[in-house]
Structure 1
Amino acid sequence: MDINHFLSKMFSHTGIFTVDQENRPIFYDKLSLLIEENREILKTNINENPDLQLIAIDTSMGWRSIPVFLAAIAERITVLPIDSSRNPDFMMKILKEVEPQIIVTALNTSNEGILDLHLSNDQFLDGQSELEDVAMILYTSGTTGNPKGIMLTYHNIFSNLSDILEIFDLNQYDRVYIMRPLTYASAITGELLLALYSGSTIYLKNQSSSIFQSLTEIKKNKITFLSTTPTIANYFSKIKHGSNLHHLRYLVLSGENLNPSIVENLQSIFTNTNICNAYGLTEASPRISCLKEINRKKFELGCVGTRLPSVEIMILDRNRNLVSEGEKGTLFVRGPNIMKGYYKDERLTKLKISNGWLCTHDRAALLDDQLYIYGRDDEVIIRNGVNIHPIEIETALASIEGISDVLAFGRIVNEQTKIYAWVVMDFEIKQSELFKKIIDHVKDSRLMPDVVEIKPYLSKTITGKKFRLREDQ
């Protein structure tokens, strides 16, 4: 698949593409006209300014950013998605580093999503050969900072989309609710492009809406496809009682490790929904594997299913030797979906990719063609010479009645590693009573925390991931 095939397929649809701010339907034929009009505007500017190569698009415009985004990649102009509504300081840092030739915002885009550009030659820098065939630069700060610009080519994106289409059979009757900002690969490739190719109707979450308001929107619009984190899905399961979500066909979980206790909650609530556990990272455009129909099988900790058809995987030990089946090691992936590299950082690119193999830095195992992910290599806690991963501790504690969320991490105290557990409770309890419950419940001494603290909530990223603390924090 390439951009031309994608657009041809999308232009063939006649149903509702999305709804505007007044909840009025916008049809696919209207979207096609908007894309073509924006393409003509960009062509005019390219003719006058041949060095036009890179534009930033403010995705906080909502649906209006989509016809601009599609027009840009159709004209092979690299897109830098930004979001002015969330972290302005982060956005300004990105803009300063990338220096896009055009910044598309609500100020130069009409209410119908049409560009209004009046450019001069002195606005442009010389072209960058690094951006050849690059469709997007996506900036990710992860859960520990250190933002990186990830260059994804057209081939990266559309090869990954082709694989994703083999997993989900969406059509013109499906309604897709996109919770994540359109600055994330999972939202772009795994949701937006998937829905557009399938002719489905798209609903974008208002980024100022609460999780409860999102659930109301999902119910009101009879959403059939939803992708979110396990934490948010678990929240939905707890407040779903009395809500009618039988229309939800797919619930795709990604972005953080999935605890068996959460699976049990979801299985009991979403009985008619195909629950999936997807794994990937932005550097892989993003999908690497997917476990389907969790509600119809027993879930095993860390299982993220089979690899996508175009993706190769291998798991190596610390000496870079292949591990035996079922043995844990570091996951490496290769395929047409693997990024071109990090923007303006050739050194880091060479450290990350070797002979086409991307080092994910994730602890993994492969058993019966099923991939298992156990967290990051650099999150492993070493206490008394024993390696323990936070997800093992979090899974053990999350299964205790009353604990709704938990974060485990190591911290150096008096030159010794101590395991801390921050927990969120469903009800009030004294710290001494909670510690007794943990002692009674956790039978594996490796997983026993040294310090337990009750918190009103755990800090999360904007997509619902937990902020991970390290031993020096």
Structure 2
Amino acid sequence: MIDGLTMSNVVKRAAALFPTNTAVIFGEREYSYSEYNQRVNRAANVLKGLGVNFGDHVAILGRNSVEYLEVCHAAGRVGAVFGALNWRLSSSELSFIIADGDFKVLFVEAGFQSVVAEALADLHNISLVVFGGDLTLDGAQDYVALHDAAASSDPCVVVSSSDDAMIMYTSGTTGQPKGAILTHGNICWDAVGYLTYMAPKPYDCALVSMPMFHVSGMHIVTTSMLVRGRPLVIMPQFDPEQACRLIQKHRVTIACILVTPLQLLLDCPGRKQFDLSSLRRVITAAAKYTTKFGVRAKAELGLERLHMAYGLTEAAPLVSITEESGQMLAKENTLGRPVWYLDVRIVDDNGQEVAVGEQGEILVRGPNVFKGYYKRDEMNAEVRQNGWLHTGDIGYLDSEGYLFFVDRKKDIIKSGGENVSSLEVEIAILRANPELAEAAVVGIAHERWGEAVNAFVVIKSGQSCETDQLISRTREYLAGYKLPKSVHFRDNLPKNGSGKVLKRQLRESVAQNEK
């Protein structure tokens, strides 16, 4: 155990090593590492003043901001557990998470006070603090006033790498959300992964554009840049043109942008009016991508490297990553090799390791694997077995140790006695039909086939596509039993806050239409 591996120490040591370096840029506000460390101290003392003790849970609801990040680090400084809530959720969804997470204090961005008022209608004994605007929420206190009045001294709470740091509620695409508990060690080891494969240069500057309620915003790049005393440019939420503007203004060199928003950036009508030549590395992640996408992103953005990664909340999140752009171009849909400190196995339904190239469930073991789900003992017994995290993802390793994702175990469609990967069908549909912007495939109960392959597609603006045409073209890439039995054209696909398609809602929409 290395007790120095805590989120608080990352900030504290960066302030000691790089006191005058710029730490955070948010709008017109800019703080050095020394100033940011003092802000974290003040926020930590605000928590102490609100009665937050070691092990208590505190949460925040809001878009990315300086306050968001400093409250996270402040919670770590006093040994509290930080919960990042998805601001896109409804009041009833928030109510469930707030109650389930046993949060003692809730920080609320001013624009979300009304939804919080609804969410807390049946909940009591929660201290409320509002930031980023005028206070209108009954019983709440103003963050600026509390922060300004708090001491800037370190509260000096002993926190270790094995202590709980964060509770991050998973997307709940297959059921009620569940809170994944990450320790300080989990998060710091994750940063070690990025420092290994994406070591920052002295001139590097990172764009934080993915939502901080998700691992892609809170962990990827963020902590590793803090370790090395580099600046973070924080966007409240992703907007392709604003991202271009910030990259140009601050000469951003590194960014984590998931595949869907990266596609929006590439397609942004105003992109070419901005100077993006400073951008040298982008790390992205998605279950599916094409070589064409990788070539386009690297060429049009002038990148030195485009990294494709695989991860999940329960691994804080990094599991594997491509080191060179050529790897993702030569091995389409590879997610790179496992991070050096991780063990990865592929097993069958009986838990036996399968041969190279054979598909099975991806299992992960290492220092970044989470502690477990909060108050979910039965689920933890299934997900964590003998030190191995059962990801619920189907994949395989090739002869060179590269990892490939096939599908979510629950998204495999069993049709006519055959297993059909929904992801494989989605990739084929998009490859065969360039008029489409998005595609999602699910299995729908069918009297004859058991499950029938159903495709939900979104057509690009100004384009057209017919069902027969779509299926005919896709037939060139897939066996007949994998082809969609039905195609549903939609204006958009339902997604959660991290951009994942909510396939459960798609299945339910078909069931409702058949009633």
Q: For this structure pair, what is the TM-score category when the shorter chain's length is used for normalisation?
A: 0.7 to 0.9
Helix, strand or coil: the match of 1:435?
Answer: helix
Q: Deviations over 1:173-193 (max 9, x none)?
A: 322222222222232221321
Matches for 1:47-196 after TM superposition, within 5 Å = 53-60=56-63, 62-84=65-87, 87-104=90-107, 105=129, 106=131, 108=141, 110-111=143-144, 114=147, 133-171=163-201, 173-196=203-226
Distance in 2 between residues matched to 1:68 and 1:267, nearest whole Å = 35
Q: Deviations over 1:401-457 (max 9, x none)?
A: 322321122212344332122222334325156336525643533442222233333
Give how far 1:362 is off.
0.6
Task: Give the 3 Å change call, closer, same or farther, for CA 51–449 of structure 1 in structure 2.
Answer: closer
Distance in 1 between residues matched to 2:477 and 2:87, nearest whole Å = 45
Matches for 1:444-455 after TM superposition, within 5 Å = 444-455=479-490
Distance in 1 between residues matched to 2:168 and 2:411, nearest whole Å = 24
Structure 1 residue 423 and structure 2 residue 423: aligned? Answer: no
Q: Deviations over 1:281-337 (max 9, x none)?
A: 111111111113325762434311111122111111122211011111111111111
Partner residue, 2:5? 2
Partner residue, 1:18? 24
Structure 1 residue 217 and structure 2 residue 246: aligned? Answer: yes
Task: Give the 3 Å change call, closer, same or farther, for CA 258–57 of structure 1 in structure 2.
Answer: same
How many equivalent pairs are there?
Answer: 457
Distance in 2 between residues matched to 1:386 and 1:33, nearest whole Å = 60
Structure 1 residue 298 and structure 2 residue 329: aligned? Answer: yes
Distance in 2 between residues matched to 1:287 and 1:26, nearest whole Å = 28
Helix, strand or coil: the match of 2:221?
Answer: helix
Distance in 2 between residues matched to 1:235 and 1:288, nearest whole Å = 26
Q: Which amino acid counterpart does residue 322 of structure 2 have in structure 1?
A: L
The question of whether the paired residues in 2 share the 8 Å contact of 1:279 and 1:304 is answered with yes
Partner residue, 1:402? 435
339-348 vs 463-472, which deviates more? 463-472
Q: Deviations over 1:71-95 (max 9, x none)?
A: 2202212222235575443322211
Partner residue, 1:467? 502
Matches for 1:303-342 after TM superposition, within 5 Å = 303-342=334-373
Helix, strand or coil: the match of 1:362?
Answer: strand
Partner residue, 1:378? 410
The question of whether the paired residues in 2 share the 8 Å contact of 1:276 and 1:294 is answered with yes
The question of whether the paired residues in 1 share the 8 Å contact of 2:436 and 2:457 is answered with yes
30-39 vs 83-92, which deviates more? 83-92
Helix, strand or coil: the match of 2:454?
Answer: strand
Helix, strand or coil: the match of 1:32?
Answer: helix
Helix, strand or coil: the match of 2:329?
Answer: coil
Task: Give the 3 Å change call, closer, same or farther, for CA 170–212 of structure 1 in structure 2.
Answer: same
Give how far 1:114 is off.
2.2
Q: Which runs of 4+ in 1 moved over 6 A?
A: none
Task: Give the 3 Å change call, closer, same or farther, for CA 150–297 of structure 1 in structure 2.
Answer: closer
Task: Give the 3 Å change call, closer, same or farther, for CA 289–471 of structure 1 in structure 2.
Answer: same
5+ long unaligned stretches in structure 2: 108-128, 132-139, 151-160
Partner residue, 2:419? 387
The question of whether the paired residues in 2 share the 8 Å contact of 1:55 and 1:79 is answered with yes
Partner residue, 1:262? 293
Give how far 1:108 is off.
4.0
Partner residue, 1:124? none
82-91 vs 182-191, which deviates more? 82-91
**Aligned-residue RMSD, C-alpha:** 2.9
Partner residue, 1:274? 305
Partner residue, 2:265? 236
Q: Deviations over 1:325-363 (max 9, x none)?
A: 111111111111111111111111111111111100111
Distance in 2 between residues matched to 1:170 and 1:41, nearest whole Å = 33
Q: Which amino acid counterpart does residue 79 of structure 2 have in structure 1?
A: R
Distance in 2 between residues matched to 1:192 and 1:410, nearest whole Å = 38
Distance in 2 between residues matched to 1:61 and 1:464, nearest whole Å = 16
Give how far 1:33 is off.
1.5
State the TM-score, normalized to the length of structure 1: 0.87
The question of whether the paired residues in 2 share the 8 Å contact of 1:352 and 1:358 is answered with yes
Partner residue, 1:343? 374
Distance in 2 between residues matched to 1:320 and 1:220, nearest whole Å = 52
Helix, strand or coil: the match of 2:487?
Answer: strand
The question of whether the paired residues in 2 share the 8 Å contact of 1:230 and 1:262 is answered with no
Q: Which amino acid counterpart does residue 402 of structure 1 have in structure 2?
A: E
Distance in 2 between residues matched to 1:385 and 1:85, nearest whole Å = 39
The question of whether the paired residues in 1 share the 8 Å contact of 2:208 and 2:232 is answered with yes
Distance in 2 between residues matched to 1:393 and 1:257, nearest whole Å = 11
Distance in 2 between residues matched to 1:297 and 1:69, nearest whole Å = 34
The question of whether the paired residues in 2 share the 8 Å contact of 1:246 and 1:273 is answered with no
Structure 1 residue 227 and structure 2 residue 261: aligned? Answer: no
Helix, strand or coil: the match of 1:60?
Answer: coil
| Seq. identity, % | 21
Distance in 2 between residues matched to 1:199 and 1:51, nearest whole Å = 28
5+ long unaligned stretches in structure 1: 118-130
Distance in 2 between residues matched to 1:421 and 1:330, nearest whole Å = 24
State the TM-score, normalized to the length of structure 2: 0.80
Structure 1 residue 411 and structure 2 residue 444: aligned? Answer: yes
